[in-house]
Amino acid sequence: MDYETILYEVTAGVAVVTLNRPDKMNALTTQMRAELADGIKRGAEAARVVVVTGAGRAFCSGQDLGQTNSGISALDLERVLRDEYEPIVREMAEAKVPVIAAVNGPAAGAGANIALGADVVIAAESAYFLQAFSKIGLIPDAGGTHVLPRTIGLARAMGSALFAERVTAAQAADWGMIWEVVADVDFEHHWRARADYLAQGPTLAFAGIKKAMRASLGNDLDAQLELEARTQGECGTSRDAKEGILAFLEKRPPRFEGR
């Protein structure tokens, strides 16, 4: 796929997918949603970590309400969610590599929930998250009703959706909505360092961590213990596990190959 609304690059095992409609605060169109899903999938196949970020001052302001061809009827909204948003959410969740959302600025509506669907969310200090849906008579979508109660609890998830008030990056970190908040001046250097760390790590173990952590939200104890044992057994046969144990015994940094 040729990209017109996102930027895509792979360097040293890190795939960076940048939403690139800065004049529109990276508002999501049908084309951008298709390109974003494709970019995440492509990055997960080509690299050892995927980063999703935004160009300009915003991460993503959500659905481009000025895009007339997306429609506004109930039927169209359901179709758009099923056909265009769900693939993005699933590509991030099912990627065999870690996915970082580097939230460089405002993340609103579906843009907020796409960010929060990543495995790790790193936000600039000036960023904020906004569940803007109720202001236009809608409910949080793009996975928002799944991720929010699980990260910040029902009370805060309900309040953020009903009142549609901004949650600052600092609040989001304090609530457990995101992993960390970073000063604007250090932001890009920091998320790139985080991405580089993951790109040099035990990729199969990271995939196992993703699988086990996400499955735990729906598993009882017995099912989760079974999944842990099976996944650990798979990781234990990897070259990276052998290298990690050997490096520990030899008191040196491990050299993981991602296999």
DSSP assignment, residue 126?
T
In the prediction, which pLDDT does 58 show? 98
- Look at 74-78, 156-160, 231-235 and tell me which has the smallest mean pLDDT: 74-78
* The dihedral formed by the CA atoms of 151, 213, 197 and 246, expressed in degrees to the nearest 10: 150
User: The CATH number of the domain where 215 resides is what?
Assistant: 1.10.12
Domain that holds residue 238: 203-249
pLDDT for 259: 85
Give the Cα separation of 147 and 232 in Å (integer): 26
Q: Which of 199, 222, 239 finishes a domain?
A: 199
Domain-located, residue 222 = yes
Asked if the structure places residue 217 within a domain, the reply is: yes
My answer on whether 131 and 18 are in the same domain is: yes
- Report the C-alpha gap between 112 and 181 in whole angstroms: 15
What does the mean pLDDT of the chain come to?
95
Read off the tokens for 8: 């895509």
The predicted pLDDT at position 67 comes to: 67
Confidence (pLDDT) at 196: 97
Q: Which residues pair with 49 in a beta bridge?
A: 14
- Per-residue CA distances from 137 to 45, 133, 141, 155, 164 (Å): 38, 6, 12, 20, 11
Q: Supply φ then ψ for residue 212, to 5 degrees.
A: -70, -45
> Based on the structure, what is the number of domains in the chain?
2
| More confident call, 77 vs 50 | 50
